[in-house]
Amino acid sequence: MLVPRLPIHRICLLVLLCSTAVLQAQQRPRVLLAVFAHPDDEGVVGPVLARYAHEGARVYLAIATKGEKGSFPHSGIPPGDQLAKVRHEEAICACRQLGIDPPIFFDLNDGEIGAISRPPAQNVQTVAEKFEK
């Protein structure tokens, strides 16, 4: 059986192209941004976030509200600033345990993501400013 012979310059070009593609893939890290309305909403997809982080992706968790109104009787914490603080700390701990970057908090009031504000689009501007940091 005869095998066609490629000129050496074509073989070198093929190797160079393949090497360049591998290097480019290695130089551009994958980034995943998961955005949720409340602290602890990430629990549903926590294993997915952890897997991507384990595989080398930069994983960010963004949380829109403080979660100060979402209280359950069994938690023993009434709605308000104390609940927001606890949920804030829990989100930091969750990110650490999942192996992802610390959370990005937009600190909007719970239940006011879509509220019309004065000036218009104030919530959008608040989020944009925090994300730029």
Compute the distance between CA of residue 63 and CA of residue 54 in angstroms, rounded to an integer.
21
Q: What is the pLDDT of residue 16?
A: 46
Q: What is the pLDDT of residue 6?
A: 45
| Structure confidence at residue 11 as a pLDDT band (50, 70, 90) | very low
> In 3-state terms, what secondary structure has residue 52?
helix
Q: What is the pLDDT of residue 69?
A: 85
Q: What is the pLDDT of residue 131?
A: 60
Q: What is the pLDDT of residue 21?
A: 52
Domains of the chain: 30-132 (3.40.50.10320)
Its pTM stands at 0.68
CA angle 86, 35, 125 (to 5 degrees): 95
Radius of gyration of the chain (CA): 23
What does the block give as tokens for 117? 């504000």
> In 3-state terms, what secondary structure has residue 14?
helix
The 10s digit of each residue's pLDDT in 105-115 is 988 888 887 76
The 10s digit of each residue's pLDDT in 13-72 is 444 455 445 555 556 778 899 988 889 888 888 999 999 999 999 999 999 899 888 767
CA angle 124, 128, 133 (to 5 degrees): 155
Q: What is the pLDDT of residue 24?
A: 55
Half-sphere exposure of 47 (CA within 13 A, CB side): 1
